[in-house]
Amino acid sequence: MEPMRTMLRTAAVSGVLALALTGCVPSEPSVADWRSSTSQALEDTASEVESVALVLYLQSHDRLPGRAARVAAVESEESLATAVEGVTTQQPPPGEAREDREVGELLSRASDLVREARIALTAGDESSYAELRNRLLDLSDDLDTAREGLR
């Protein structure tokens, strides 16, 4: 009975290790695929950033009913997280480390700023809306510039 248990334990441990090792390896796309997926993530991020800028504008002019601004900001924040994860879980191809670092910094700025806007909207901090909106629009320009640089 003991050899059977040992054999089953060994098989179970081997299976868990195999799953862990294969599940933890980032994808390694080609340069063209990496640039394409990164460009798409930058475009998606710019779209979410611009959406939150629009929400801030509309909310500051009392154009959104009830909790619509908060709901829209939360949805943008969640969509942005998906775009960021799509890029940050990939292994950048050789020679793309600088671009990867710059894109990562932009995506991090976008996440932080969209979060800051969501917090302001939830708190009803109307005095911060215009400044946040301007920062979001400036960031959108930076995201578009980075995207153009990948082409």
Q: What is the pLDDT of residues 97-139, one digit of tens each?
A: 999 999 999 999 999 999 999 999 999 999 999 999 999 999 9
Domain positions in the chain: 31-149
Question: What does CATH list as the number for 31-149?
Answer: 1.20.120
Residue type, 135: R
Work out the angle at residue 66's Cα, subtended by the Cα atoms of residues 51 and 63, and round it to the nearest 5 degrees. 55
pLDDT, tens digit (0-9, with 9 covering 90-100), for 68-85: 999 999 999 999 999 999
pLDDT at 16: 45
**pTM summary value:** 0.80
